[in-house]
Amino acid sequence: MSGLVLGPPTSGDPVRLAAAGPMRGVRAPRQHVTDEQWAHIVAELTRRELIGGGLTLGTLALLGCGDDDEVSNGTERAGYPRTVSHAYGSTTIERVPTRLVTLGYTDVDVALALGVTPVGFRDFFGTGLNPWAEPLAGAGDPEAIEYGERAPVERILALRPDLVVASTGMPRADYEALAGVVTTVGPGGDEATVVAWRTQVRQMARSLAREARAERLIDGLEARYAAARRAHPQFARRTLVWTFPAQGGYSVYFSKDTRMQTLTELGFRLPASIAELDDGSFSTVLSAEQVQRLDADVLIVQTYTPEQRRTTERSTLFQNLDVVKRDDVIWMPEQVADGVTFGTVVSIPYVLDDLLALLADKLPSRTGR
């Protein structure tokens, strides 16, 4: 799910995402933009710029560009037919898709970042487009699709898609049900509950014939990460744990999860107490008696209710952690947590400045810390 697990795997996801972002309702005419311009626009989609008006009306107009521009572009047309390999075989896409449905957990972000507004998307958080993605939809109005244990095939087909793509979260049975009636590209590996952000961008780009734009998007976010590492060299090799406390235990996230992918890009690493448990999955649950494994240079705690935080803070075992005694705990704000959890080429630029400020507060740039 591009790393999306908001709670212990055994307890379900207690998702409570903040509603509409500040740019809701902004719509603009479509204009053509180059790959370089689009990558710059996506890289600049930070929360402060959106709220503070840092994006000009001209830039917002450019955000309206999408598949209409590319369908008329001879270079893009030349990319079809094309065959895309995936976990369940290979799929030949005969022509430029004009009615895309994205069913991976966070695939809508990536399609929008590549300049294509889907007609429908998997609404994993149940709140529609997130605030970081909404401006990129331009004049489009993609339909949110609830996807439970099985894909709602009739609902999807009612959107008349000519291409369905799922880089994550699609079981073989759902793939087969859809592939029999519509061109469908499945996950890159197994059901792919987790995918690295670069891989996700490239997988989507192969289906949409947007490889050049994909590489520019990747270059843009890599440049943001490199700038962050230069600005905060004190993060290098520091240990960090991200936990979600629930049901008397603590979910912790391994290097494969999107949260730790992002923090690793900034220079952090897991402490040995967590790294030795990493079995290649994306998380595990520690019992209350194992709480000492949470000790690190920085501890990030993700909660969604005041009561959840109070319960955690009242725990004597939690209070006895060295990281807690030093006050090196970050109680992660909800929207920042959500953006890092999504872990996409769109959501990370949106929350990165806030994330860096929170980390730098606990690890200021000075020696001897």
- CA torsion 306-309-314-320 (nearest 10°) is -160
- Name every residue whose Cβ is closer than 8 Å to that of residue 218 and which is 6 or more positions away in sequence: 198, 201, 202, 345
Q: Which ranges in 114-243 belong to alpha helices (H)? A: 153-157, 172-179, 197-208, 211-231
Same fold? 35-224, 226-362: yes
d(CA 61, CA 47): 18
Q: Is residue 164 classed as helix, strand or coil in its secondary structure?
A: strand
Per-residue buried b or exposed e for 277-291, using 16+ beta carbons within 10 Å of the residue's own CB? bbeeebbbbbeeebb
∠ CA 202-203-205, nearest 5°, is 60
Beta bridge partners of 143: 120
Beta bridge partners of 368: none
Tokens found for residue 299: 């501890």
Based on DSSP, count helices (H) and strands (E) in the chain, helices before strands. Answer: 17, 12
Beta bridge partners of 202: none
d(CA 220, CA 39): 6
- Name every residue whose Cβ is closer than 8 Å to that of residue 73 and which is 6 or more positions away in sequence: none
Per-residue pLDDT tens over the stretch 121-138: 999 888 899 999 998 998
Taking the mean position of all CA atoms in its chain, how far away is CA 347? 6
- Per-residue pLDDT at 217: 94
DSSP code for 282: S
Residue 131, preceding peptide bond in cis (omega within 30° of 0): no
- Per-residue pLDDT at 312: 94
Superfamily of domain 226-362 in CATH is: Nitrogenase molybdenum iron protein domain (3.40.50.1980)
CB count within 10 Å of CB 184 equals 25
- Name every residue whose Cβ is closer than 8 Å to that of residue 367 and which is 6 or more positions away in sequence: none
Report whether 62 contacts 31 (CB < 8 A): yes
d(CA 113, CA 135): 10
Report whether 100 contacts 106 (CB < 8 A): no
d(CA 358, CA 299): 11
Q: What size, in residues, is the chain?
A: 369
Q: Helix %, strand %, coil % for the chain, to 5?
A: 40, 15, 45
∠ CA 302-308-313, nearest 5°, is 85
- Per-residue pLDDT at 75: 42
Per residue of the chain (369 residues), give pLDDT as tens. Answer: 443 333 333 333 322 222 222 232 333 333 444 556 556 666 665 554 444 444 433 444 444 444 333 433 444 456 899 999 999 999 999 999 999 999 999 999 999 999 999 999 999 888 899 999 998 998 889 999 999 889 999 999 999 999 999 999 999 999 999 999 999 999 986 655 778 899 999 999 999 999 999 999 999 999 999 999 999 999 999 999 999 998 889 999 999 999 999 999 999 999 999 999 999 888 999 999 999 999 999 999 999 899 999 999 999 999 999 999 999 999 999 999 999 999 999 999 999 999 999 999 999 975 444
User: 35-224: which CATH number, 3.40.50.1980, 3.40.50.970, 1.10.3720.10, 3.40.50.620?
Assistant: 3.40.50.1980
> Structural domain boundaries of the chain?
35-224, 226-362
- Per-residue pLDDT at 139: 80
pTM listed for this prediction:
0.81
